[in-house]
Amino acid sequence: MPEPTDQARAVVVLNPGDHARATRRLHALPGPGRIVVHPTPGGSAADLARNVLAALGKNPDHVDQDKLTALAAMRHAGAHASAAGVRDLVVDRGHRMPATLLRALAELTQRAGATLWLVHAPDTGAKSVVTPHEVLTGAGLPVTVATFTEFTEQLPVPTVPDQRTNPDVGAPWPVTDWPELPLADFPQFLTVCRRRLPGDLFQALRFLLDQEITTTRSWAGTQRRRGGFTHDRLLAYLRDQRLGPAPSGPVALIRLRAIQIALLTQGHYLRWNPAELGPDPAARLTGVITAKVGAAIASVTDTAASSATALALHLGTSTHGFGLIRLTHLAADGSRLYLPPPADPEAGILAPWEKEGPFSLYDPPDRLYPRDFPHLFTPDPIRLPEPVHRVLAAHRSYRQADGAGEDDPLFLHPTRPGDHNPERGLREAVLRTCHRLHLAPAWLHRTHCRHGDGLLPSHTRAFTWMEDRGLSHHVLAAQRPNPTEAP
Amino acid sequence: MPRHFANLTGAATLPTSTFQLTARIVDDLVANCAMGVLHGPAGTGKTYAMESALEDQAARNPGLAVTLLSFTSQPTMRLVGDQLLTELTGAATAGGRNRFQITAKLIDLLAHPKRLVVVDEAQRLNSNCIEMLRHLHDDRKTNFALLYVGGDGCWEVLSREPMLRSRIFRRLPFRPLGPAEIPDLIRAYHPIYEGADTELLRSIDETYGHGTMRDWASFTHTAAALCEDADRTRIDAEVVANAFTLLGGGVYA
């Protein structure tokens, strides 16, 4: 059982006569930081876990598809609730719950660090009614009792946020509403656009292009002050900040052309070959994790499967090296991942599943080299897409609730935790999740194919994010002949 | 027009106050997607009034879907869910589904179109079954009115559930017809009673009818057959005596 947190507590809300007004009120309560659970009548602990997951926006069918036990499903629910910042967990029909379900709710509340509001009708006369106060107190939760009026005062109906607010009001053109743009290379891009686009649309494009050039020059200036930028830093810049989060293909194309212009003046040629990218090459420039894909990943119940899928899709690799990620490498809010490269690249590191034992002289553990995992050991923290922050935070929270420390691995082998490399199992989980979400990244093909097998620990796979988008980076300045030297 | 008990032909619908109120109550339940109860002793015309109200609804409200449920004695929550799912989908329910999946499927199916679910013989439901129907009815996504119809003990069963007290929107108890109402109503019930003597009708009610429409339908069925055999258009003391003989009095009637 997890340690009770300071915030975790339970309030038994009395609803005399099992009045319908309580149900009506509860229907209006869901909002930010608050979920309302209507348990399935006569349901088991697994059904209660499904109810909680459904209230959290997760797909409850995954409990059966992943063959999760009631306990595991409830733990995943607790992690998701914690990552989603759920502060109030409102549960209806507390008087019809047996003690086992009340104890499961108490554990969930402790994992989420939330307040459990248990709506309880004390005068139903049913023989099966247990006293929730005793059960919840026995489970380690401080319990208070509130009347229904007090409940409505302490938990008012949330105000509906104004959905009409447009974050792009400052831009001269809605950034998601671009037509298909010409594919002319960056030296002619602006000229061709001026010729083909209507005046106001061209002005909007020019605005974005100039803005992007300024941003990239600023970034390049910062990198120059740090000693110049490498291929890894450019990849991270494109993937995590500029092209990956672009809301649409045309916006990504404008950003790319601006970055190409800005980098050329810095002595770098970013080449884009759209010839093999299909009928809409600009759409291929953006990241895989859009808001829609992020929401689909967030609906997955198993936190390990969803977070491994999010990482694999963002990095554009298979699960190669995911077993090396420790809790300390992932930010608590799931926004960044940082595996610092070791000072001595040749020293090698010990994988979390390898143990230095007394027989290590005869059977020494395999050492791994960060150069084999360039997609993970990056000079700067990897910025993860905003739609999956909570997904990763949920898995971190899940591992912490299981007692994992900061130096413990983020992903575990499902049956031999701590002893075996979890990557193969994770890859299957990612494949399964991608199949459910109707995503088919080529680098996750199960059988060997012309796109390559994601299991191969080859160096080339580290750079597929750019290759998959037809991008290649060439340093011009180092090859440029020095005009002061005699021929 | 609904079918009379024992397929009695030629009988008219008696415009009793409960019969007329039933139509109004079904109207109100459908309009508000609310919960209601029709209850009373067997044979007092609940089912006939409910069927007539449903026919009326079908004529005036063609978009309304109606689902009729009737359970064997002591149904379980699972049986209620399975039977409701079968009625809604028209196919036998697939096995292997857990309670959560069945409930979720039912909520989806009850979301559209607007529906009236009628549970006949509601006195057979236990607390868990009533809780399940309440759960479905309370869900925000569902869009249906729920009408419990039950005989002896129905209201006693339903009123034991505190949750229903604040949820029952309309309740209509049915009672046997009083002796004062009998002569006028029965004369309009069937052609064989036209102009019948008041005392004769009261004696039939005292001996056999007891104010319940099911018994009156049974008597009328027998008496009409005897009238036809004797080539008579209306009942008289001899036809009544012969009917009593056939209806349980035997040769000693």
Residue A459 has pLDDT above 50, yes or no: no
Cβ neighbours of A50 in B, within 8 Å: 100
Does A20 sit within 8 Å of B166, measured CB to CB?
A: yes
Out of B132, B140, B166, closest to residue A41 by CB:
B132
pLDDT of res. B8: 75
pLDDT of res. A449: 55
Q: How far is A51 from chain B (nearest CA, A)?
A: 8
pLDDT of res. A374: 86
Residue A397 has pLDDT above 90, yes or no: yes
Cβ neighbours of A23 in B, within 8 Å: 138
Out of B77, B103, B166, closest to residue A19 by CB:
B166
List of residues 6+ apart from B191 with CB closer than 8 A: B10, B233, B234
Q: What is the ipTM of this complex?
A: 0.86
Cβ neighbours of B75 in A, within 8 Å: none
Look at strands B115-120 and B65-70 and give their pairing: parallel
- Comparing CA positions, the residue from A10, A83, A93 lying closest to residue A51 is A93
- pLDDT winner (highest mean) among A351-355, A448-452, B42-46: B42-46
Please report which confidence band the pLDDT of residue A317 belongs to, taking 50, 70 and 90 as the band edges: confident
Does B139 sit within 8 Å of A121, measured CB to CB?
A: no
Sign of CA pseudo-dihedral A184, A285, A258, A479: negative
Cα separation, A244 vs A251, in Å, equals: 11
Please report which confidence band the pLDDT of residue A355 belongs to, taking 50, 70 and 90 as the band edges: low
Amino acid at the residue B15: P
Does B162 sit within 8 Å of A18, measured CB to CB?
A: yes
pLDDT of res. A362: 55
CA dist list (Å): A408 to A238, A335, A449, A473? 31, 19, 35, 36
Cα separation, B69 vs B66, in Å, equals: 10
- Comparing CA positions, the residue from A142, A141, A159, A155 lying closest to residue A36 is A155
Cβ neighbours of B163 in A, within 8 Å: 18, 20, 121, 124
Maximum Cα interatomic distance, chain A, rounded to a whole number of Å: 102
Cβ neighbours of A47 in B, within 8 Å: 98-100
Does B99 sit within 8 Å of A47, measured CB to CB?
A: yes
Which of A4-13, A146-155, A353-362, A371-380 is predicted with the least confidence, judged by mean pLDDT? Answer: A353-362
Residues 24-43 of B with CB under 8 A from A: none
Give pTM, 2 decimals. Answer: 0.79
Cβ neighbours of B127 in A, within 8 Å: 126
- The angle subtended at Cα B22 by Cα B17 and Cα B27, nearest 5°, is 130
List of residues 6+ apart from A58 with CB closer than 8 A: A76, A77, A80, A298, A299, A300, A301
Cβ neighbours of B101 in A, within 8 Å: 61
Please report which confidence band the pLDDT of residue A5 belongs to, taking 50, 70 and 90 as the band edges: low
> In degrees rounded to 5, what are phi and psi of residue A56?
-85, 0
Which of A174-178, A279-283, A391-395, B157-161 is predicted with the least confidence, judged by mean pLDDT? Answer: A174-178
| A205 in B contact zone (CB under 8 Å) | no
pLDDT of res. A119: 94
Please report which confidence band the pLDDT of residue A66 belongs to, taking 50, 70 and 90 as the band edges: confident
Exposure b/e, A98-123, CB count within 10 A at least 16 = b:
ebebbbbbbbbbbbbbbbbbbbbbbe
pLDDT in tens, B155-182: 988 888 889 988 999 999 999 999 999 9
Residue A452 has pLDDT above 70, yes or no: no
| B229 in A contact zone (CB under 8 Å) | no
| A19 in B contact zone (CB under 8 Å) | yes
| A43 in B contact zone (CB under 8 Å) | yes
Q: How far is A126 from chain B (nearest CA, A)?
A: 9
The 8-class DSSP code of residue A31 comes to B
Does B128 sit within 8 Å of A42, measured CB to CB?
A: yes
pLDDT in tens, B7-33: 777 788 888 999 999 999 999 999 999
Segment A347-351 long-range contacts (CB within 8 Å, at least 24 positions apart): A349/A324, A351/A323, A351/A324, A351/A421
Exposure b/e, B78-115, CB count within 10 A at least 16 = b:
bebbbbbbeebeeeebeeebbbbbbbbbbeebbeeebb
Cβ neighbours of B96 in A, within 8 Å: none
Which of A80-84, A316-320, B37-41, B81-85 is predicted with the least confidence, judged by mean pLDDT? Answer: A316-320
Out of B100, B161, B165, closest to residue A40 by CB:
B100
pLDDT in tens, A219-239: 999 988 888 788 889 999 999
Residue A477 has pLDDT above 90, yes or no: no
Residue A143 has pLDDT above 90, yes or no: yes
Does A125 sit within 8 Å of B162, measured CB to CB?
A: yes
Reported residue count of chain B is: 253
Q: How many CB pairs under 8 A join A and B?
A: 62
Q: How far is B99 from chain A (nearest CA, A)?
A: 6
Sign of CA pseudo-dihedral A398, A402, A408, A412: negative
pLDDT in tens, B48-98: 999 999 999 999 988 899 999 998 888 999 999 999 999 999 887 777 778
| B162 in A contact zone (CB under 8 Å) | yes
Does B135 sit within 8 Å of A41, measured CB to CB?
A: yes
Residue A101 has pLDDT above 90, yes or no: yes
**Where is pLDDT greater, at B169 or B249?**
B169
Amino acid at the residue B152: D
Region B104-117: mean pLDDT is 93
Cβ neighbours of A121 in B, within 8 Å: 162-163
pLDDT of res. B165: 85
Please report which confidence band the pLDDT of residue A152 belongs to, taking 50, 70 and 90 as the band edges: very high
Please state, as a whole number, how many other Cβ atoms lie within 10 Å of the Cβ of residue A88.
19
Please report which confidence band the pLDDT of residue A299 belongs to, taking 50, 70 and 90 as the band edges: very high
Cβ neighbours of A44 in B, within 8 Å: 98-99
Please state, as a whole number, how many other Cβ atoms lie within 10 Å of the Cβ of residue A378.
23
Out of A18, A43, A51, closest to residue B163 by CB:
A18
Percent of chain A surpassing pLDDT 70: 84
Cα separation, A444 vs A466, in Å, equals: 17
Region B228-241: mean pLDDT is 92
pLDDT of res. A305: 94
**Where is pLDDT greater, at A72 or A4?**
A72
Region A430-434: mean pLDDT is 91
Give the residue from chain B lying closest to A16, CA to CA: B162
| A21 in B contact zone (CB under 8 Å) | yes
The 8-class DSSP code of residue A476 comes to -
Q: Cα A138 vs. chain centroid, distance in angstroms?
A: 36
